Amino acid sequence: MPPAIETAGLTKTYGSVRVLDALDLRVETGTVFALLGPNGAGKTTTVRVLTTLTAPDAGQARVAGHDVVAERRAVRRAISLTGQYAAVDETLTGAENLRLTARLSGLSRGAAARRADELLERFRLTEARDRQAKTYSGGMRRRLDLAAGLVRDPGTTRIVFLDEPTTGLDPRSRNELWDVVRELAGHGTTVFLTTQYLEEADRLAHRIAVLGAGRTLAEGTPEELKNRYAGHRLDLVARDRDAYLRLSPHATVHTPATLTLGVPTDGTAAHVRALLDALDPDHADIERFALHSATLDDVFLHLTSTTKEPSHV
């Protein structure tokens, strides 16, 4: 199948700051794609360009097979966008919010009511349907916001953009929203996600791209990125200062304040045993050890620690 999203040389400049620098992306249909990066890396600008809210200065972008500049209306008919803050009318009930959005999207009164009922059930909001949205929890508002973006014929919303959707949510609400994202992808919807929470990307995304200064620093599955840029590490705590100095030449990570050293490993039991025997054959230098499994935090820090970011998002 053709990709859901594809960019080539996408460039955007604000004043003297180049926020997107010849950005290339490819997002396969029916997958969850996460875009990571520090503040100012260009995540929100990428979303704004792909959703036709901002025009690029150079390069090309196609969403659902349509050019984001020449075919803006076709792109907008195929997408849904949920920003960083829930855009619901707090004085209306959940059902009223959905019916209103459906009517504004062109559905008849009867079709709007039926679609609202379907979405309230799908997003587990039926019991709160007649309550004003201002009484909803943060997670409930987020689910209502997502539902509002899907009020049109479910076959027409092919791509959902979520720009940091769980910012400010408590862990329970965040997990509830993760379930919604999994459900969307399970029904064949492509989800383009930006997030500050690396665990979120690790749990949800089929593929991840890490941005830095408007460029793609790395792309791959979560496991590919962890294996490529972080790997496993055996953390050793030396028995004393002399033992620390003896072990130090074999380590890649050094923390003298706690006499801790990090040694690369493939994470298998056989390799860990072999390392311990080789580094401390007399069992005299290592007081304790722990296996540090690679995380996206390690990948993120490795890739962005030396990248200078622009000041404009």
Domains along the chain with CATH numbers: 5-227 (3.40.50.300), 232-293 (3.30.70)
**What is the pLDDT, as a whole number, of residue 155?**
61
Q: pLDDT for 58-92, tens place per residue?
A: 999 999 999 999 999 999 989 988 877 668 899 99
Residue 228 CA to its chain's centroid (Å)? 19
H helix intervals, 105-189? 109-122, 138-148, 171-186
**What is the pLDDT, as a whole number, of residue 168?**
76
CB 205 within 8 A of CB 222: yes
The single residue listed with the structure tokens 């409930």 is 140
**What is the pLDDT, as a whole number, of residue 311?**
35
Do strands 190-194 and 32-36 pair parallel, antiparallel, or not at all (unpaired)? parallel
pLDDT in tens, the chain (313 residues): 789 999 999 999 999 999 999 999 999 999 999 999 988 889 999 999 999 999 999 999 999 999 999 999 999 989 988 877 668 899 999 999 999 999 988 889 999 999 999 999 988 899 999 999 999 988 888 889 888 888 876 566 789 999 888 887 788 888 888 988 898 899 889 999 999 888 899 999 999 999 998 999 999 999 999 888 877 889 999 999 999 999 999 988 889 999 999 898 888 899 999 999 999 999 999 999 999 888 888 888 878 875 444 333 3
Q: pLDDT for 210-219, tens place per residue?
A: 999 899 999 9
Residues in CB range of 153: below 8 A, 6 or more apart: none
CA distance 180 to 186: 10
CA distance 148 to 101: 6
Of all helices (H) and strands (E), which one includes residue 201?
A: helix 198-204
Do strands 159-163 and 79-82 pair parallel, antiparallel, or not at all (unpaired)? parallel
**What is the pLDDT, as a whole number, of residue 34?**
97
Cβ-based neighbour number of residue 273 at 10 Å: 10
CA distance 122 to 112: 15
Query: Of 307, 287, 232, 302, whose CA–CA distance to 39 is shortest?
Result: 307
What predicted TM-score, i.e. pTM, was given to this entire model? 0.78
**What is the pLDDT, as a whole number, of residue 180?**
84
**What is the pLDDT, as a whole number, of residue 153?**
64
* Alpha-carbon torsion (267, 273, 274, 278), positive or negative: positive
CB 191 within 8 A of CB 184: yes
Query: Of 22, 21, 46, whose CA–CA distance to 34 is shortest?
Result: 46
Which pair of tokens denotes residue 194? 């930006």
CA distance 80 to 235: 45
CA distance 219 to 299: 11
CA distances from 150 to 47, 88, 153, 239 (A): 18, 14, 8, 60
**What is the pLDDT, as a whole number, of residue 91?**
94
The single residue listed with the structure tokens 């201002």 is 134
